[in-house]
Structure 1
């Protein structure tokens, strides 16, 4: 099964995740305990610290986070015929669409979940985008100072003003290469979907095949920037922050970035749906925990009530920042779920055709 790089991002994010390959199984939920299949590593530690432990103290409901989440796990639970081992499963955007079609998950109970502080663009029938992250343009500050860096994707495409190769994501469904190509060609942010794939490929032709270095893992563009192989790249913003914490000098802008996020979904086979929804409500509404999580990760929880308590350096780069609302686009999970195979195939044909 293809493992989306958005999942890889959170598994090996700015917090150096290390999720195990084999799923760790906690005890079965007993009505006062729920189990969450997530990513493992440091992120699970933070979710436990900021949400699970205080929630347990407040409600008496124990929450255990495990690793190895996937659409396959959601399917396995419904096929078993018994109560779900995992009450909540973290799914990517395309996975939640498929899981809903196959009735592997249940709609959110908005009589329990208070979504009054959730921007409507992040609220769906079967979940709310959580831990939002950005796909951005970034640069090597040693070669391009922040005030001289491209400000738009049309400028990123300008090889006369900024000569040299661009490092770009070959995984078009999880990165936003086609969307960025359309922005560079003049398509407005709010009119990206449905994607005009052929126009996007023609835009990449304009950039020039010889000016593109394709990457397949999230760390490659960072390595290429820091090694001097390229001076401009596309990347997930958490990778840039991690590199700078480690001593690199990379810049990025949240403007015109693609917004992605995963969903915590309640299994249709869960015997603890009410408790699961109560915990999800806690994660989405507890201001103190949300602030600490966003400070630790620089990924957004869509609770606007928490925004005023964030430091400026974090607030400025969160997609939920009102100042960025009309400067970022949200990847359409529904479009990609419906068009994934044929679009990936067409992109590969274009690459070979060069």
Structure 2
């Protein structure tokens, strides 16, 4: 989906990727190119989610961009739509490029919080059609997965689907699930565990999903995490043996020696946007960074390889060996084995679903 009025069938995208990695471009560029300021745009402040991902983003994208452009980057770990909104409304915008989830992107557009992207600065040559939008770029795709502690659960005995993941009889252990619904797919996982097929998940039956979470394995055996690094800590410390997580986080932990693993099958495919807050001081520098991220093949391939995420950079895919390309979230081999998250449904239902979820947790 490129904006709230367009729906894009990304399952077709995945299947088509076997021949052509990404579909054609959609949506024309917008806005005239503003003049660079002599004083501004020598730096760019980026906000993301921290932890190992920030390290990977710095290594593969930000440092090479600074070396090539001379623009210095600062990467923070406190990204949030609420903080972006507060900065815009106060007129004191400190961030230049901000990572937010797809539902949050729709909210930010509707509330007039974003600068339109300048596609005179950002070449759309490397952007797949689903990624390009008027007020941002859906710059990466990731998988919401079930993960386990290999010391407690050997790979051969690990869950193969969400029903097994939640089955307390099969795994007498505590589990941890992500409670931030803007990018968590725990409700989808609960419905999959209850036997709902991929093509019947949306519109979400939230009441049914909460019943699954409440009774199976039971609230006293279900922990909640609110930050992406928490499940890594919980799994490696032995606090839990099973957890939801994201594919790149588990891969990073494994590269650091953690005895963790996950399965990509029955995962949920989603993605995040990079946006520029309205009134950003260094928006031209932010657009130049997005141009680099979307079109530099070497940097993009390094990002895909290190993170195990799919960057919205078509040229990068041609640089990847098959063994790496086959593990990416958008690999055609996963097309019929994963659920594609419905961004349109979430953009229309996020606030009320979050309220219902929080009330249910409190009860």
TM-score normalised by the chain length of structure 2: 0.72
Mapped to 2, the partners of 1:329 and 1:123 lie a distance apart of 22
Task: Give the counterpart of 2:138 among 129, 145, 165.
Answer: 129
For residues 69 and 206 of structure 1, do their structure 2 counterparts lie closer, same or farther at Cα, with a shift above 3 Å needed? closer
Q: Is the 8 A contact 1:75 1:104 kept in 2?
A: no
**Structure 2: which 5+ runs fail to align?**
1-36
Q: How does 1:1-354 map to 2 (within 5 A)?
A: 30=39, 33=42, 35-39=44-48, 42-43=55-56, 45-46=58-59, 47-54=61-68, 56=69, 62-67=71-76, 69-71=79-81, 72-73=83-84, 75-77=86-88, 79-80=90-91, 86-110=95-119, 113-115=122-124, 117-160=126-169, 162-173=170-181, 174-205=183-214, 207-209=216-218, 212-217=221-226, 218-270=228-280, 276-311=286-321, 314-353=324-363
For residues 113 and 188 of structure 1, do their structure 2 counterparts lie closer, same or farther at Cα, with a shift above 3 Å needed? farther
Alignment root-mean-square deviation, CA: 3.4
Q: Is the 8 A contact 2:148 2:243 kept in 1?
A: yes
Q: Is the 8 A contact 1:134 1:257 kept in 2?
A: yes
For residues 151 and 91 of structure 1, do their structure 2 counterparts lie closer, same or farther at Cα, with a shift above 3 Å needed? same
For residues 352 and 241 of structure 1, do their structure 2 counterparts lie closer, same or farther at Cα, with a shift above 3 Å needed? same
**Which residue of 1 is the match for residue 10 of structure 2?**
none
For residues 284 and 213 of structure 1, do their structure 2 counterparts lie closer, same or farther at Cα, with a shift above 3 Å needed? same
Mapped to 2, the partners of 1:345 and 1:175 lie a distance apart of 15
For residues 103 and 141 of structure 1, do their structure 2 counterparts lie closer, same or farther at Cα, with a shift above 3 Å needed? same
Q: Is the 8 A contact 2:115 2:279 kept in 1?
A: no
Question: What is the CA-CA distance between 1:114 and the residue it aligns to?
Answer: 4.3
Q: Is the 8 A contact 2:132 2:138 kept in 1?
A: yes
CA offsets 1:246-272 (integer angstroms, 9 cap, x no match): 333222111222234432213433576
**Structure 1: which 5+ runs fail to align?**
1-27
Question: What is the CA-CA distance between 1:121 and the residue it aligns to?
Answer: 4.2
Question: What is the CA-CA distance between 1:316 and the residue it aligns to?
Answer: 3.6
Question: What is the CA-CA distance between 1:163 and the residue it aligns to?
Answer: 2.8
CA offsets 1:73-94 (integer angstroms, 9 cap, x no match): 455346539xx66543333334
